Amino acid sequence: MDKIVSLSKRRGFVFQSSEIYGGLNGCWDYGPLGVELLRNVKDAWWKAMTYREDIEGVDAAILMHPRVWEASGHVENFTDPMVDCKQCKSRYRVDILFEETSIKKQKDAWRELDPNAPKGQVTDEEVQKQFAILAEKYTDKVLGVLTCPNCGNKGTFTGARKFNLMFKTFVGPVEDANAIVYLRPETAQGIFVNFLNVQSASRQKPPFGIAQIGKAFRNEINTKNFLFRTREFEQMEMQFFVKPGSDVEWFNRWKEERMQWFLELGITKDKLQWHQHPRDKLAHYAKDAYDIEYQFPFGWGEIEGIHNRTDFDLARHEEYSGKSLKYYDEQTKERYIPYIIETSAGASRSFMAFLVDAYREEEAPTADGKTEVRTVLKFDPRLAPIKAAVFPLVNREGMPEIAKQIETALRPHMRVFYDDSGAVGRRYRRQDEIGTPFCVTVDSQTLADQTVTVRERDSMQQERVNVSQLRDYLQRKLY
């Protein structure tokens, strides 16, 4: 992971937010290449999800009426259990603190708190099982015998308390309770409250969906693992409204489609898996939920959730707003609240999965017949930030002028990069490292027959292509 974080900074994918002031925890900035990659991920999602007749797009405001978050359950339920160390003031999410407690410390805690705990040999599984039971039943007692990971003091934790993850701010000049609004913690609610607006404006009938890409904000207690858990991030969410009774079938269909999307964009199959939420851990709105998980260097992590949200959301917004959100079916004369199947992907987490999955270090031949290690990002060409680099082999004999003309001709159609510095082998390596699928080189043969070499990133094979056909050639391979 460290190599990817360092490459991200060096080559302009991702920078720490407000870095010159020491950074702001849980916030990241996308640099020139990162912004292209992120845009390409979002474009691929938008095309897959809305270039079809049964899904419409919206772009709702980030600030919404505060009652939205009461209706959605976020004011009451969107909390994490949290503790502070009274000594060093570090703050922890209780579940993560327990998860990261070593087996030895779990065993010590078990023995300290349970007089019946065995004194002799015991398996790690048994220790984990017993520790989990104690942590669930006697949370504060367990906290009382653990040491703070930061300062190492024992018994310095406060009791566990609920911490709401929504960021609060105020609308207008008066900062009182009546002016409180929240930065949305998910984009979904902007879709639910617009369900009938979109349905009637676009004359859709269930089954149909509404898609949205946008920022979401969560005041996460523990931000970690680069872009994985951040305080500001982007979601790509689609809510599919169906007739009750057809929800299970649509849930299964969307599950398959969403997994397929990641596979078609080149993510390694073995690095993706399903995780079904256990019945007793389902979110308050869900009847069934599966996560698509990616195997990051730090372990498996959710990149998208597919949820059967039932009629919970629309029923609650009806109740809290006093406005009917029922759909009336003219043909069958039925009036009902649709069930919702949600596909909720993190744009930033998907970005990170595509970046991590593309990263390789390989042996590659050098011009003098030896080999060297090349770092290469094997992005699907649709996601690559730069589509083609254009080089003059040498900076004389008219080669730079022809290369510049080629760059100018390609630029309106794709992101291109011109590079005339250093040996051509080094220029290839620089492009490999940022995942550019094609490098186009103008050489002495170009002067004779108007052909250039096109070198493909993954195979490193070169082909000669006539300049007049270059754009068609690249576009065919890129999209």
Find the binding residues for ligand GAP in span 213-242 (CB under 6 A): 218, 220, 229-230, 233, 235, 237
Q: Interface with ligand GAP includes 72 (CB under 6 A)?
A: no
Closer residue to ligand GAP (CB): 26 or 392: 26
Q: Of the ranges 31-39, 299-307, 360-368, 424-432, which one interacts with ligand GAP (CB under 6 A)?
A: 299-307
Residue from 188, 376, 434, 465 touching ligand GAP (CB under 6 A): that is 188
Shortest approach of ligand GAP to residue 430 CB, angstroms? 30
How many chain residues interact with ligand GAP (CB under 6 A)? 19
Q: Interface with ligand GAP includes 304 (CB under 6 A)?
A: yes
Shortest approach of ligand GAP to residue 15 CB, angstroms? 17
Closest-CB residue for ligand GAP? Answer: 346
Are 85 and 157 contacting, i.e. CB atoms less than 8 angstroms apart?
yes
Q: Interface with ligand GAP includes 303 (CB under 6 A)?
A: yes
Closer residue to ligand GAP (CB): 303 or 406: 303
Extract the runs of DSSP E, i.e. beta strands, from 161-231: 161-164, 168-170, 180-182, 208-217
* Alpha-carbon torsion angle 185, 190, 195, 199, nearest 10: -140
Q: Of the ranges 97-105, 203-211, 343-351, 442-450, which one interacts with ligand GAP (CB under 6 A)?
A: 343-351
Alpha helices in 12-102 (DSSP H): 32-50, 66-71, 74-77, 94-99
Q: Of the ranges 58-66, 303-311, 385-393, 448-456, which one interacts with ligand GAP (CB under 6 A)?
A: 303-311
Give 333-338's long-range contacts (Cβ < 8 A, gap of 24+): 336/243, 336/244, 337/244, 337/311, 338/195, 338/206, 338/241, 338/242, 338/243, 338/244, 338/311, 338/314
Closer residue to ligand GAP (CB): 232 or 420: 232
Shortest approach of ligand GAP to residue 188 CB, angstroms? 4
Nearest CA among 302, 346, 355 for reference residue 14: 355
SS3 for 307-368, per residue? EEEECHHHHHHHHHHCCCCCEEECCCCEEECCEEEEEEEEHHHHHHHHHHHHEEEEEEECCC
Q: Which residues bind ligand GAP (CB under 6 A)?
A: 186, 188, 218, 220, 229-230, 233, 235, 237, 302-305, 342, 344-346, 348-349
